[in-house]
Structures are given as structure tokens and as C-alpha cells.
A and B are shown apart, each in its own frame.
Chain A
Amino acid sequence: MKLDNLIILPVLLPLAGAILTFMLKGRLSRQKLVALVVLGLNLAWSLLLLAQVRSGEILAFSAGDWPVPFGIVFACDIFSALMLTVSAIVSLAVLLYAFHSIDIERGKFNFYAFFLLLVMGVNGAFLTGDIFNLYVFFEIMLISSYVLMSLGGEKAQLRETFKYMVINMLASALFLIGVALLYAVTGTLNMADLAVKIRTAADHGLLTVIAMIFMVVFGTKAAIFPLYFWLPQSYPATPPAVNAVLGGLLTKVGVYCLFRAFTLLFTFDPGYTHTILRFIAGATMAAGIIGAVGQFGMRSLLSYHIVSQIGYMIMGLGIFTPLGIAAGIYHLVHNMIVKTALFLTAGVTHDLTGTTDLHKLGGLLKVYPLLGWTFFFAGISLAGAPPMSGFFSKFALILAGLDAKHYLLVTVAVLISLLTLYSMMKIFRYAFWGQASREYPKVKYGPALCSAVALVAISLAMGLGADWMLELVMAAGEQMMDPDLYIRAVLLEV
């Protein structure tokens, strides 16, 4: 069997799993087993794909065997495979945590099925080579996220979900406008085909405008400045496990799309588009951190951090050199792992103490040392302290920025790093140090925390194994800075 045809498995497996889960109607332990097996296979498969494409080969196939560009194409390059793998790790980790955290009621109402469908949407977005199909996978991902967010139906939860939903629908409408315009101008939806036609187009004026539409659309999903305001209030209102998967995965799909769009499609005028991206990068970092330092809720603080860290990824994209792209991807990968770990520790804290309000917490380090240290190391990794992964990704960004002479942006990035550390230590200082405000239950929380610990270990491993990681992301960066590779793989070899 040709491997190319099987790159769609990360989409089909979760869908099949979800259908099975629906059919198991409330038999919770079996549903859990299905989810576990599916996500386990998903991870194994993603790793296999990554091993396959590492050398630079790009796998692709056309659904229904239609000739390109008329059918829907799936393609898997290093970037895609890397994102698949990391999202597989993240979703598996969150699933293991959800087993301990999601209540039986939510579980019975197909929580795990929706979770799998969310993964399906995310994976599809990473793999598709067709811009309308991307829209479809976005919808799958988003609608699953609406359900996951609102499941259980607490008041604050519903209120925030509603806002989140409206904003995202608005963004989706804009997405459609963008797709329609793009189709009207180029007559195609296939991304490789689009890349060729956009590049050879006689007049780039309108195309620049369309590029900006996609910047707004993907930017809203990715929560960049000035489109991030929907995020910080909606995420903390959700159940902790959902919070973790949204924080770790969802916005990153938007980032993935920005990377894809602005390395493959809209590369004709980097002096304009990528300058805007760099400006946005700096503003996003700053806006996120300004939001974060003023917060006293552990989860809302972390949610603002999502925004701030997205800025770093966009910085890599905006620098638009192989090293910049590579560093941006490194940061993206690192951040997905670490952010999830942080949200999981926040989740465990919430499960143990019933709150994540920093004013009400204190002295947790004495009662729950493992929790405290997991948070500590995740926190310093986020802030970019060696030898955690965050150091190398940020350092690569700084090097790329300095190399391309974007001194102002680098200055902002360095200062924001310090504030990141400050806000992480703020959590540590208030929640884990200090005096306990009340008796905390002495319960076994190790199993619930194990995925967070594993993620922190991965972050450390990605730091100690930075050479290997850098080689991988550099290969991805170089591959993406040469769109011909992708175009050829899709247009000629399928």
C-alpha cells in the first residue's frame, strides 16, 4: 500500500473513533478505551510520518484520485508532520488528564467523541492542501470546541462560549469571503496551484488585499494583535481539561495557517506583508504580557500568555529567513508542549483546591511538592531559561532577528521574556510559596499530573536534544522557504 494514501489516517482514525464512541452510548470505560487507542495510534502514525518526511520527501495524494488541482489534495511535509506529532502528544496528554478530571456526566454525553473530533479537525487542517477544505476542517475543529466548551452548561461557561462562537463564526464568514475572492481571481482552490498562479499573476494589488484578509482570518484564530481579545476570558471559563487542549492546540492551528499562507502563497511582497507581520508580532507579545501581569487568576494569566507567546512565533514568520521560520516553528512546537503542561498544572491545582485564584492560594509547594516543581520547570521553560526547550527556541529567534537586523523587535522580545518570567514567578510566589490559607486535602494526585510531568520532560528533552530539534526545524524552514518543493510534490507527483 502506498504510504502517500495513508497520510489521511490522522483524520480518519479520530473520526472512526468518534463514531464508535457515539455508538457506545454512554458506556464510559469503553469510550475511554476507544479514545485512548485512537490517540495512541494517532501518535504512532504521526511519528512514522515524521520519520518518513524528515529526509525532505513530501508525501501527497488526491482524495478520490482526481487529477490535481481538481480534487482535494492532502500533503505532508516536515512542518505538517511535526505539527501532527506535537498535536498528537498534546492531545494524548490532555486525554490522560481528562480521565481524572472530566466528570462522569460530561463523559457520558460523549465528551471523548467531541475530543476526538477536535483532534480530527486539527489534524485535517495540518494536512490539507486545499484552501476550502481547510475551511471545512476549521469548522470541524471549531464546532467541536464550541461543544467541548459549553458541555455541562454552567452559566459562565455558556456566556463565554456564546461570545467565542459568534466571534469565530464571524471569522469564518470572513474566511469564506477570502476563499471566494481568491477563487474569483485565480480560479483555483488547491494551495500548490494557488501558489503558482499567485506568483505568476500580472497584478498583485488585489492579491495583497486578499493576503490581508487571510491575515485577519487566521490571525483571529491564532489570537494575534489586535484580534486576540476573544481568548483570555473564554478559555478560563471552560473545564480545565478543555482549557488545556484549547490552550495547547487550537490557537496554534491558526499559527500553522499563517505560516503556511505566508510561506507558500503570499510571498510576492514580503516587504509589505512580512513587515506588517513583524509589527504584529511585537504588538502581540506586548499586548499579551500586559494583559498577563495584571491578572490574579492562574488560568486567565496563562491565557494571556498564550497571546504573548504567539507573538514570538509570528516574529519568526515575519523575519522570513530559513532560520527565522525554523525558530518560529521551534517555538511553536515548544510552546504547544509547555503551554499544555502549564494548563494541566493549573487544572490539577483547580481539581485539588477548587480554585485558581492567586489571592486564595498559598503554600502549595509544601503540600503538593511535585505539582509545584512541575509548574516551576514549565514556567521557566516558557520564560526561556536554559536548558529547557524555551531557551533554544527563543535564542534561535533572537539570533535570526539580529541576523536580519531587526534590532527593535529583538529588544521587545527580550524584554517580554523578562516579564514572562515575572508573571510565572508571580504564580509561583503566590500559589506555591507563602502560607497556606487553609488545610489542603492530602490526596494522591500523581496520576492526574503524570501527563504534565511527561510534557515537562519532553520540553527538557527538546532542550537537551536541541541539536536534533534544530536540524529538524531547519530542514522544515528551508523546505518552506523554497515553495517549489511543495508545489512540485503536489502538482507533479500526485
Chain B
Amino acid sequence: MMLLGIVLAPFVAALLVPLLRRVAGPRIGLLLTIIPAVLFTLLLTLLPQVNSGTTIGSAWEWVSSLGINLVLRLDSWSLLFALLVTGIGTLVLLYSHFYLGAKEDLTKYYLYILAFMGSMLGVVLAGNLIILYLFWEFTSFTSFLLIGFWSDRERSRYGAQKALLITVLGGFVMLAGFALIYLVTGSFDLAEILARRELILESPLLPYIMLLVLIGAFTKSAQVPFHIWLPNAMEAPTPISAFLHSATMVKAGLYLVGRLVPLFGGTAMWFGLVSGVGIATLVTGSLLAVKQDDLKALLAYSTISQLGLIMTLFGLGTPLAIAAAVFHLFNHAAFKGALFMVVGIIDHETGTRDINLLGGLAKQMPTTAAVTGIAAFAMAGLPPFSGFVSKELFYEATVHPEFSGWLAGLLPWLAVGASIFTFVYSMLLFFYVFFGSPRGQTPKSPHEAPALMLVGPVVLALLTIFTGLKPDFIGQSLINPAAAGILGSPVAEHYRLWHGVTTPLLMSLATIGAGTVLYLLIEPLRRLFKKVKSRVNPNRIYDWGLDLLTNGSAKLTDWYMTGFLRDYVVYIIGAFVVFVGGTYLLKVRAIDAWHFAPVNLFELLFALLFVVAVIVLILASSRVIGLIALGIVGFFIASFWVIFRAPDLALTQLIVETISLILFLLAFAHLPSYFKDLEARKKKFIDAVTATGFGVVTAGLALTAHGTRLYEPLSTYYIENSLKLGGGRNIVNVILVDFRGLDTLGEITVLSIAAMGVYALVKLRGRAR
């Protein structure tokens, strides 16, 4: 019950936002900060209990016929995330109050952000894969709305759409993976699935399941090649970037991968996919970050890179690697959250985020500078900050993989290589922006931010220092339990800032040394990087694909949707010929053609004349001739009825023909001139082929049907019983009004509608004139 309350509280608050906005006015942000703060405190009180290995859970039935039940579970891995979401959420809400002016649409902003918070808590507390998926999609949609918050900017709309498309694609693919898991194990419940992991591991579907689910995680966590949405997502207000696109939502993929470690971990495919993609992302992100001009873009690529690092660790799967992953995830949330907030402050106070305009800000903004320095050093992996500890663990994990092969061998080298560039862009962020002299004129003259706005970044910076100095405290109280939650068995790592001269330390030294050298060459380095432009990159593929989709499909559609009725008739007849005729050729054996009723000369003559009339009709060059020919066809049909002894039908046919002729004459004057456009020869040919095909198929069918009468028809009964039961001797009429009276009622309804319709059409048009 409590867990449900935790998930629902932000949603309820979100629904109350419009009301609260009226009560609290522009201070609504401050008021709402209470919600995550309370949740954070509540979760903190659960820490001892959960860390001792208890899982708090509750379940409600929902769609039990498909195994979808509202199962919520809180173990130490979930708890770490829940704490991150509510903790950083508190700071972000507080920060937002100062970041957003009173003129902005605050109602919408806080509504979205609270809905997001609830969704994110839902993702990490879900114990059922479908519930996880549900909240997962919620985060995608709230993220979409938040990125598009300033929806009158084209860049915002572009970014929002891109983020949505990519993450939802991943979501759908992941859902297919979940469905396969269900088919293999018969359950969506995570605990039950883990208990039946052998079923999955032995299933031939294993590679597909793993791939599908991982694509979901990769898109959400911006892994190569799906990373392209994250830089464009930076169009969101900066607190959103700090919250969703660095600290929490993008880590949902990591959360899921962590959850799946006990299921898939240890298999070679898992290592290859997760670590392979992770390391590629790490390298790509850090290389691309260096050349960015926009501070938020730099942070976005840096986030991508750091997410890749954590992903790599999950792929390695050893207890040490998992502990390192969790630790780095925690550190990253803190220092990256702080960095986003300071970048927001810089943007807010100077009016720009362009690195080429900034410089020497340390004088005007000392606190901001200090926070940036601490966070950037942590990101670079410098002691005594938190990042150093987790970076060392990362190095150690890459040096001792459980797997062999080229990827395992390459890992430490790639890790160091990428970290060198991480070092470079971290230094860029601090020294380039805050020291030296201003490089250009900023739109506003810089000054320090209000004290309360600095609370968030300062708290996070202090956390970074504290973690760096007392790693084992954080390690024992948060990291080890969370890692144990992932692995399902206790983890007993010890964390120290200094652990003697080891391979990881040497790797760190190499990173710092090479990084310093490169930073001294920063200007030429950035110029060089900017020159390298790949023709084939995922961004271009995305844009090209969407363009192709929109324009290409429009062209394709215009090509066959001609708007000409005759084309449509050709399509329909063509489809008939293909489907029906094709089936006929495939399925029907030769027809027994010579068992038909004898044809007398009279009938033959009529048939011939009939054909002549039809030919005249086809060749008619004016409407009058066409009409007359059509009339003749009609009268011939009537004569057929006479021949086959159906006077009622003959009479009806005759009168209908007469009346329709009159109608035609009445309408004649209003019709456009006949055959305005002469058709191309090719089209005529196609028309002829379809028409002939249709004729052949129907004739064949009629003949075959005649030859295969399998059962006694109903009419026998009608003939026998019309007098007895219907009280009439005229079979046709008894059928009409008695046996099938309902049909007749229907048909007169049709007639009535037609008449009233024509009446309305003509009169209404008349009035309009």
C-alpha cells in the first residue's frame, strides 16, 4: 500500500497543480518541492530495512488473464533509484522555481514534471514487466511534452519528436521481447521469471529475447547508435535536462539492464552486446563532447559517454563490475546534476551557453565556479572527488574481465582512451568558461545567481566531495546493498580513495597526463575535431529517413491515388481477377462443361443480339447511343425472363427500364459532355485486359457453379409450401412478402432512402442557388 502511495503521490499532486497554481500563484514551485522531499525522507527511513535484504512488496490483480498484475517491489536496487529520483527531484523543483519566470506556463511545467516523477518511480518499483513497460512509456511521453515545453520553437518540436520516436521505438521492441519472455516462462512477474531463468536460457528464442529487450534499454539510455536524440533533447528547460536527461530517465535503461543481469549475465552474447555497445558509446560520446560549442550539448554528449561507461560495466557482470557500475551511476547523478544546474545558471545570468562567448566568469560568479570545478574534477576522475573512486573501479573491472576475446582485450585501452577525452572536456568546462578573459559579448552582464538557486548545485557538489573522501561510507550504506539487490547475493566490496600503486592507478595517471597535454592544445584540437564530419551518421540517417517517409510516401500515394474513378474500377476488378481468378486456377479442377441444358435456336438468337447490343454500348461515341444500347440490353434481359417463364420478373424489368429511361432523359441536360478526355492507349489496353479477365472469371465461375450443385436448393421448399403456408399461389410474391419479407422490407427502405435522398439533394441544392 505504501509503495502504491509513493508512486501515486506525484500523480495526484500533478492533477492538483492547476488548482494549486491558483492558490499559490508563482510560488507553486516552492510549494511542490515538499512532495519529493517528503517522499525522499520516507524512502530514507526504509533504507535500513531494505538494506538488510528485505524486499517490500505489494500486489493487486489487474489483467490477470494475461499475467499483467500491479506488482510493486522495493529492493535495494530499486531503492537507490527511488532515492535518486526523489532526492534530485527535490533539488530540481527548488531550482526550477528560480529558473522559470512567472510568465512561463508554470501549471503545465509542474504538471508534467510531477507526472514524470511518478512514472519514473513506477518504473523502478515495478515488479511486473508490463507495469514497468507502462511507466516506461509514461516517462517517454512526459519527456516528449517537457522537451517540447517551448513548443513555439521549431528546435523544441524537432527534439521532442526525435526523442519520442526513438525511445518509443525501443519501447515497442522491448515489449515484443517481454511478450516472448511471457510465452517462454508463462509470466511477466520479474521474480517468477528469474526463478524460471533456465527456461529462457535453454529456449531457442534466447538471442531474440535478449536483443529485443536490450534495444529498449539502449534507446532509453542513449546508447550508440540511438544516442542521437539526447543532444536534441537539450531544447528542454535546463532543470528538465538535469533531471530527466541526465540523472534519472536516461538511467532507466541502466536500471533495466541491471535488473536483467541475473537473468542473462555471464553469457557471452550479453557481454558482447552490452559491453560492446557500452564501450562504443563511451568512446563516441567523449570524442563528440570535445568539439561542442553549446555547453548543454557538451553535457549531453558527456552524459551519453558516461552512460556508455556504466553500460560497459553491466556487461562485464562480475560483482566488482556491478559495484563499480552502481557507484559510478550514483556519482554521475550527483556531479552531472550539479553541472546541468550550473550551466542553467550561466545561461540564466549571462543569456548564452555558447562557449565561444564565455570566459573569466570566476570573478563574477565565484560560487558557481567552485561548484563547476568540483563537479568537473569529479567527472574527470581526479582525486579526492567521487569520480576518482568509481573510475578506478571501472579500470579495475576492465582489466579483469571474465571473458576472453578481442573485445575483452581491447576494453582497458578503449577505457583509457575515452577517459582522456573525458578529462579534456571536463577541463574545458571549468577552465575555459571561468578563467581567462571573456571571449565575446554576452547578452546579459554576468552576476552571481540568487542563493536559493545555488542550493541544488552546492548540495550535489558537497555530496561529490563527501563521497570522494568517505567512499566506504556510501559504499557500505548504498552501493553494496544495491549491487547485492542486482545480483541477488551479498556483495562485500571495500572502497578506498587510496589503495596503493596498482594498475588502475597507473591508468588514471596516464589519463591525467595525456589529458593535460591535450588540453594545452585545446584550440587546435577542437578545430581538428570540427573538421571531421562523417557523411554517414545516425543523425543524417534519421533526418533522411523521416524525409523519405513523408515525401516519398506522399509521392507514392499520389501516384496511385489518381482520383479517377476509372482507375479505381480497374483496381477493384483487377483485385477480383487476381484473387478469385488465381484461386480458381489453383483450386478448381477441370469443369464438366457438357452437361448444360440444351439451347434452342431462339435463345441463341437472342443471346447474339444481346451481345451485339453490348458491343454497341462499348463502342458508343455519344451518350444517346450509349443510352439506347443500354436500353436494348435491358429489354433483352426482360425477354430472357419471358423465355425462362418468369413473367413477374419480366414485367418488373420492363417497367424499371422504362422508368429509368425517363429518369435518364430528365437528368440528361445536367450531365457534362461525354468522354471529355480521350484515354491513352496504354490505359485502354489495361482496361480491356481487366474487363476481359473479369468476364472470363465470372463466366468460368458461373459454368462451374452450374456443374457443381451439391445440395438441394431452398426453392424446392418454397415451391412446395407457398400455398400451404403463405396462403398464396404466386411463388415469387409469397417469397417476397412472406418467406423473405424481411428482405422486402429492407429493399423498400432502400428505395425510400434513395427517393428521400434525391429529393433532399435536389431541393437543398436548389435553395443554395
Residues of A within 8 A of B (CB): 15, 22, 63-64, 66, 69-72, 105-106, 109-110, 113-114, 117, 120, 124, 132-133, 136-137, 139-140, 143-144, 146-147, 150-153, 162-163, 166-167, 170-171, 174, 177, 180-181, 183-189, 197, 201-206, 208-209, 211-213, 215-216, 219-220, 226-227, 229-230, 232-233, 272, 276, 290-291, 293-295, 363, 365, 380, 384-387, 391-392, 395-396, 398-399, 402-403, 410-411, 414, 417-419, 421-422, 425, 429, 433-435, 466-467, 470-471, 474
Contacts and interface: CB of A to CB of B under 8 A. Distances in A.
B635 interface: no
Nearest to A202: B710
21 contacts: A72-B742, A140-B749, A150-B757, A163-B565, A167-B565, A167-B572, A187-B712, A203-B710, A206-B704, A227-B575, A229-B560, A290-B557, A293-B549, A293-B550, A294-B549, A425-B164, A429-B160, A466-B66, A467-B62, A467-B65, A474-B65
Given A120-B749, A153-B764, A399-B66, A212 B711 contact: no
Nearest to B743: A136
B686 to A, nearest CB: 15
Contacts of B173: 414
A188 B588 contact: no
Given A385-B137, A466-B63, A133 B743 contact: yes
Contacts of B698: 177
A152 B711 contact: no
Contacts of B148: 429, 433
B151 A395 contact: no
Contacts of B568: 163, 167, 229-230
Nearest to A151: B760
B741 A64 contact: yes
Given A114-B756, A208-B583, A294-B554, A109 B746 contact: no
A105 B767 contact: yes
Secondary structure dominating the interface of B: helix
B683 interface: no
A109 B709 contact: no
B705 A63 contact: no
Contact of B63 (A105, A293, A467): A467
Contacts of A139: 746-747, 750
Interface string B150-177: 0110100100110011001100110110
A153 B556 contact: no
Interface of B: 61-66, 68, 130, 133-134, 137, 141, 144, 148, 151-152, 154, 157, 160-161, 164-165, 168-169, 172-173, 175-176, 179-180, 182-183, 549-557, 560-561, 563, 565, 568-569, 571-573, 575-576, 579-580, 582-584, 587-589, 698, 701-702, 704-706, 708-715, 717-718, 721, 725, 738-743, 746-747, 749-750, 753-754, 756-757, 759-761, 763-765, 767-768
A167 B556 CA distance: 22
Contacts of B576: 174, 213, 216
B329 to A, nearest CB: 27
B739 A70 contact: yes
Contacts of B151: 363, 365, 433-434
Contacts of A167: 565, 568-569, 572
Nearest to A289: B553
Contacts of A184: 705-706, 709
Contact of B572 (A185, A213, A220): A220
Given A185-B705, A216-B579, A387-B134, 15 more contacts: A69-B714, A72-B739, A72-B741, A136-B746, A143-B754, A150-B761, A185-B710, A209-B584, A216-B575, A227-B572, A290-B556, A395-B175, A395-B179, A396-B66, A402-B176
A142 to B, nearest CB: 9
B179 A147 contact: no
A467 B739 contact: no
Contacts of A109: 759-760, 763-764
A63 B563 contact: no
A113 B755 CA distance: 13
A151 B761 contact: yes
Contact of A398 (B176, B749, B764): B176
A105 B764 contact: yes
A174 B61 CA distance: 50
B164 A212 contact: no
Contacts, number: 287
A211 B141 CA distance: 44
Contacts of A106: 764
Contact of A433 (B157, B556, B705, B760): B157
Contacts of A70: 714, 717-718, 721, 739
Contact of A22 (B65, B572, B588, B756): B756
Contacts of A202: 710
Nearest to A171: B572
Contact of B579 (A181, A215, A363, A434): A215
B310 to A, nearest CB: 27
B583 A72 contact: no
Contacts of B710: 185-187, 197, 201-203
B682 to A, nearest CB: 20
Nearest to A183: B713
Nearest to B573: A170
Nearest to B557: A291
Contacts of A211: 583
Contacts of A291: 553, 557, 561
Contact of B765 (A113, A153, A295, A434): A153
A448 B328 CA distance: 54
Contact of B176 (A113, A205, A410): A410
Contacts of A144: 753
A366 B419 CA distance: 46
Contacts of A470: 63, 65-66
